[in-house]
Chains A and B, each alone.
Chain A
Amino acid sequence: MDILSWDGTLSSGDFRLAACAFMQKWKSVMSAFPPWSWVPCPKQPWGASASHDVEGYLSLENIILRSIEEEHDEISCPQKEETSCSEKEELIDIATLVQSNCSKVPYYDLHIIYSASYRVPVLFFRAYYSDGEPLGFNAIEKDLPAHSAKALLDSKWTFITQEEHPYLNRPWFKLHPCGTSEWMKLLFHVDVSVAKNGVTIELYLLSWLSVVGQVVGLRIPLEMLNQP
C-alpha cells in the first residue's frame, strides 16, 4: 500500500487479517500476558450496527497491568449498613486463614473493536478490583504510571469517553476514534522500515496498540514492532 496516498484507515476485512496477525505476534513476544482471543459476534438482525463483515472483536480480559509492589492508595469502601455475623451465630474457626489486607489491585478488560464509520480500531476498556467493583475514570487515571500516560491523556490525540459497548450494552470507557487515522498516518510516515516496505496490514494493530495502550499503561516493547 502506497504510504503517500494512505489515509490511516483500514477496511473491515483488513481488520480481521490484522487481528489474526496481531494475536500471533502477541503470543510470541508478550508472553508475560495471556493471549488475546477473538470473540465472534452474531450479526445484529436489525441491520448494520457496529460493522458489516467484521463479526467479532479482540478481547483480553482479567489482566493486571501494574506490578503489585507499587503503592496503591487505600481506597476506603464506604461503610454502609453492614450485616454481620455475631459470634454466637458462626463459630470461630481456627482452620480458616483470616486475610485482612485489602489488596486493591485493578484488573483490566481490553477490547479492540472495529468502527465502521471511522474505519479504525477502537480501544474499549474497563477496570475493576478483584472483588468485581468497577473503577471510575478518576481511579483509573490515578492508577496510571505517573509519566507519559498522563501527557497522552491531555494531548490532542486522545480523548476518553464513556459509551455503551456495542455488543455488551454496558458503559465502557473508550478512546475516541476521531484522531486515530491522523496519527496512524503520522506513525507510519515516521517509521523508516515502512517507507521501504510500504504499509503492511499486519503491523497496523501492533503500531496502533503501541500508542493507545499507553492510555491504560500497557507498554509494548519495541522488538514487537519490528518485522520478523
Chain B
Amino acid sequence: MAAHDSEGSILVFAQFQSKVDEGFWHRLSSLKLNKLGIDDSPIPITGFYAPWSHPQVPNNLTLLAQSLPTELSEQSSTAATSHGNRNRCPVQGTLYNMNTIESFHALDKKNLLKEEAKKIWDDMHTGKAVEDSALLSRFLLISFADLKNWTFHYWFAFPALVLDPPATLVDLRRASEYFSLEEAESVSAACNEWRNSSFTAEVPFFLVSIDPNSQATVKHLKDWETCQSDGHKLLFGFYDPCHLPNNPGWPLRNFLALICVRWSLKSVRFLCYRENRGFADLGLSLVGEALITVSQGWREHQCLPNAVGWEHNKGRQVSRCINLAKSMDPTRLAISAADLNLKLMRWRALPSLNLDALSSIKCLLLGAGTLGCQVARMLLAWGVRKITLLDNGRVAMSNPLRQSLYTLDDCLNGGEFKATAAVKSLTRIFPAVDAEGIVMAIPMPGHPVPNHEEDSVLEDCRRLHDLIDSHDAVFLLTDTRESRWLPTLLCANTNKITITAALGFDSFLVMRHGAGPFSSNHDFRAEAANALSAIGNVARIDSDGRQRLGCYFCNDVIAPIDSTANRTLDQQCTVTRPGLAPIASALAVELLVGILHHPQGIFADGEVANSSSNGSSEQPLGILPHQIRGSLSQFSQMMLVGHSSNSCTACSSTVVSEYQERGMEFIIQAINHPTYLEDLTGLTELMKSASSFNLDWDNETDLEEDDDCVQV
C-alpha cells in the first residue's frame, strides 16, 4: 500500500509468520505417547517472537520444545511463560492436537478462531490486556501428529479483530524521517533501555511519550491516563516482527482495536519498533498514523467483531505439513547411522570399500545354528541387507548360549523354528534388514529316502536349487558333512560364491569353493576345453591354464556318507570349544568381503601370504586365501590352497554334468546309493588301484606338504 498517501488508504497489515522448531514436534510426540494418549483437550502453549532484526526476512512467531508444558509439571493448566528473554517475548496460545487426520480436517475453524478472538476481546474489555499486553497476540494452533509416518499437519491462526470499517492509513514513513534528530536519539535510547531491562524486555506493547524538550520515555500501557494528562506527544509502540517498508506487522491490528475499545481514540499515531543487531533502528522502524472510524456499536462488549487470522501458506489458506521421519523415525536413524559407520570406514581406512556391492548382495545361510547366527550378525555389520536362513530345527534350551540370535523365549513351548526365530531376532537388531527364514531339511546322501517321502524330498531339492539360484553367495554352515553335498553341487552348477565353515572340537575349517567346472573368466571356452580333456586324475584346468580351486569335498577319497562314525569335522553330535564358532564365522564373512573386492572374484587364486611370488598387486583388504584351517589348541591358523579334483563327488565336471542331464533323478540316486557317486567319479576305481599298488596317498590330491602352505 502506498506509503505517503495523504488520502486515507486502507491500512494493510503483514501477517504473522509461524516457525516451528523441530524440537517442538519431538516434544509433542513424546508428550502424546507418554502422557496425553488420546486426550485431545486443548493444551496451553507459549509462542515466542521479537522485533524484526534480520535483514530482509521477517521474524516469526516461533514454537520451540519449551513451548509445550513439561511432562512432569503440575501446572499443566497454565503455559509456562518464564522461558522468554529479550529475543523471545512469550505469547500465550492454545493447541488443539487431534487424534486423526479426519478430525483435524473436520475441526470447525471458524468457531475456534472466534473462541480465541473472544478471549482477546474479553481481555480488552476487562483491562487484562492493558496489564499484560502480550495477551493481544494470543494465537491458535491446530495439529495432527501422525506418529507412524512422523508427519505433522498443522495450521496456525493469529486472531485479529476486524475493524469495521477498516482503519485507514494517513501516513507511514521511516521513524528517522518522522522524528527530529534529538527526538530520534532519545527515542532510541529509551527503547534500548526498555529492551535491556529484564522487567520490560518481554513487554511487546508500550507507550512512547516525548516531552517538549525532545526527551522520550517509554512507558507501560497502563500509564496511559497519566500520559494523556501530560499532553506530551504520544506514540503507541509495539514490537514489529515484520520487515516490509510499507506495511506494519500483525500485532498492530489488535493494538488498534484495544486503543479503540479502551480509550476511544479516533486517530492513532503508532511506532512499528524494529531493530538491527539488537539495537533500536529508527531507519528500519516505521511511524504512521491510522484513522479508526468504527461505530459506537462495534465497541460494545457483547458484540464480538469478526475475526480473521488463519495463516496463509504460500498465498493460500491451507494447512501445512512437515515430515520429520529422517530425524525422528528410529528405523531411519538406525539405517543412516549404519550407513555412516561404513562410510566412515571407507573414508578413514579403506577408500576402495565397495559399499554398494555389500548392500546389494543376497546371502543364503544354510544352517541357523552357532555358525549361522554369528555369520548373520557379521553380515549385518558389513552392511549386508538381504539374508536368508535355512534350517529345519527348533531352538533347544542349550542353544541360546552359543547361538547368538536366540534367547530363552525362543525355547519355550517346544521351541520356535530356528529359521523363524533368527529372522525375528535380526529384525529386532536392525529393522531395515530383509531377512527370510526357510524351514526345510537338506537332503543328504547316506540317508536313504523311503518311497512315500520321495516326492517331498524332490520338492526340497527343487526348492534348494531355486534358493541357490536366487542368491549371490551361499554359506554352508550345517553340522554334518553329508548335508553340504547337495548345496555344493548346486553352487558348482550355478557358479555361486560358496563359503564353507566347519567345526571340530578345537579346530575349524573356513574355505571358499572354487568356481564350478563349467565356468571361467572367459565365457564358456573352458567348457569346450574340458570336454576334450584327458581322462585321468589330472586336476581340471580351465582355458586360462589355471587350476580351479577345490570345494569342500575335493580332498575326499570317500563319498559323503552318514558321518556319525567319522571323527574329524562335522560330527553329528558336535562338541566344540565355544570360541571356535565366532572365529570361524567371522573369518567366513571376511572371506566373502575379500571375494567381493577382488577383481577376479570367485576365480581369484588362493593366496597364502603376501609373498612376491604372487605376482598380483596387493589388494587393499589383504590376501584372499582359499582355505583357512585353525587350531585353538595352538592358537594358530594355517592357510592352504587345494585345487579341484577330477574325482570330486560334488564339483567335478562328471558329477555336475550328470546333474545337468538327469536332474532330480540323479540326486535321488546319489542320496539313496552313496557308492553310486564313487562309481561315477571313478573314486571306486581309484581306491581299487591304489590298494592294489600301495600308492602313497600323499601324492594324489592332498597338498599338505606343498610350498603352498604357510603356518601363520
Contacts and interface: CB of A to CB of B under 8 A. Distances in A.
A144 B23 CA distance: 25
A168 B162 contact: no
A85 B317 contact: yes
A48 to B, nearest CB: 22
A204 B74 CA distance: 46
Interface stretch (B320-328, B436-444, B523-531): B320-328
B319 interface: yes
A99 B318 contact: no
Contacts of B320: 77, 82, 131
Interface stretch (A8-16, A154-162, A187-195, A208-216): A154-162
A161 B319 contact: no
Contact of A156 (B244, B253, B347): B347
Interface stretch (B13-21, B123-131, B409-417): B13-21
B340 interface: yes
Nearest to B101: A81
Interface string A78-116: 101111110001110111111110110100000000000
B186 interface: no
B321 A80 contact: yes
A83 to B, nearest CB: 4
B12 A94 contact: yes
B247 A97 contact: yes
Given A91-B308, A96-B308, A171-B333, A134 B110 contact: no
Interface in B475-508: none
A84 B316 contact: yes
A82 B308 contact: no
A9 B468 CA distance: 53
A70 B306 CA distance: 41
Contacts of A77: 314, 320-321
A181 to B, nearest CB: 14
A98 B318 contact: no
Interface stretch (B34-42, B52-60, B265-273, B533-541): B52-60
Interface in B84-129: 101, 104-105, 107, 109-110, 113
Contacts of B326: 134, 136
Contacts of A156: 347
Interface in B241-261: 244, 247, 253
B56 A94 contact: no
Interface in B15-67: 15, 17-24, 26, 54-58, 60, 62-63
A176 interface: yes
Contacts of B448: none
Contact of A130 (B17, B167, B340): B17
A133 interface: yes
Given A64-B57, A132-B21, A136-B326, A90 B109 contact: yes
Q: Is the interface of B mostly helix, strand, loop or mixed?
A: mixed
Interface string B201-237: 0000000000000000000000000000000000000
Contacts of B323: 78
A170 B318 contact: no
A132 B313 CA distance: 13
A197 interface: no
B110 A68 contact: no
B15 A176 contact: no
B14 A64 contact: no
How many chain B residues sit at the interface, stated as a range, is 35 or more
A81 B319 CA distance: 9
Given A90-B109, A128-B22, A162-B336, A97 B10 contact: no
A171 to B, nearest CB: 5
B19 A102 contact: no
A5 interface: no
Nearest to A134: B22
A28 interface: no
Contacts of B319: 82-84
A178 interface: yes
Contacts of B151: 80
A82 B320 CA distance: 7
B12 A97 contact: yes
Given A80-B151, A103-B57, A161-B344, A96 B15 contact: yes
Contacts of B153: 80-81, 83
Interface residues of A, number: 45
Nearest to A133: B322
B89 to A, nearest CB: 15
A168 B23 contact: yes
A166 B348 CA distance: 23
B11 interface: yes
B308 A131 contact: no
A133 B325 CA distance: 12
Contact of B60 (A64, A83, A130): A130
A134 B22 CA distance: 7
B56 A96 contact: no
Contacts of B318: 82-84
Nearest to B308: A93
Contacts of B13: 95-97
Given A81-B105, A90-B317, A161-B340, A134 B324 contact: yes
A113 B14 CA distance: 39
A62 B278 CA distance: 14
A78 B319 CA distance: 12
A34 B336 CA distance: 33
A105 B308 CA distance: 27
A227 interface: no
Given A83-B153, A85-B317, A131-B20, A90 B308 contact: yes
Given A80-B321, A93-B162, A97-B15, A159 B344 contact: yes
A62 B333 CA distance: 25
A31 interface: yes
B424 interface: no
B488 to A, nearest CB: 42
A160 to B, nearest CB: 9
A91 B163 CA distance: 13
18 contacts: A82-B319, A83-B107, A83-B153, A84-B316, A85-B109, A85-B110, A93-B308, A94-B12, A95-B162, A96-B15, A98-B312, A130-B17, A131-B19, A131-B20, A132-B62, A134-B22, A159-B348, A171-B327
Interface of B: 10-15, 17-24, 26, 54-58, 60, 62-63, 101, 104-105, 107, 109-110, 113, 151, 153, 155, 162-163, 166-167, 244, 247, 253, 277-278, 306, 308, 310, 312-324, 326-327, 333, 336-337, 340, 343-344, 347-348
Given A96-B308, A130-B60, A132-B322, 18 more contacts: A34-B278, A64-B57, A68-B56, A84-B316, A84-B319, A94-B12, A95-B10, A98-B312, A100-B315, A102-B314, A130-B19, A130-B57, A131-B17, A132-B62, A134-B326, A162-B333, A170-B23, A171-B327
Interface of A: 31, 34, 62, 64, 68, 77-78, 80-85, 89-91, 93-100, 102-103, 105, 126, 128, 130-134, 136, 156, 159, 161-163, 168, 170-171, 176, 178
Nearest 6 CB-CB pairings of A with B: A100-B315, A132-B20, A82-B318, A93-B308, A84-B318, A132-B19
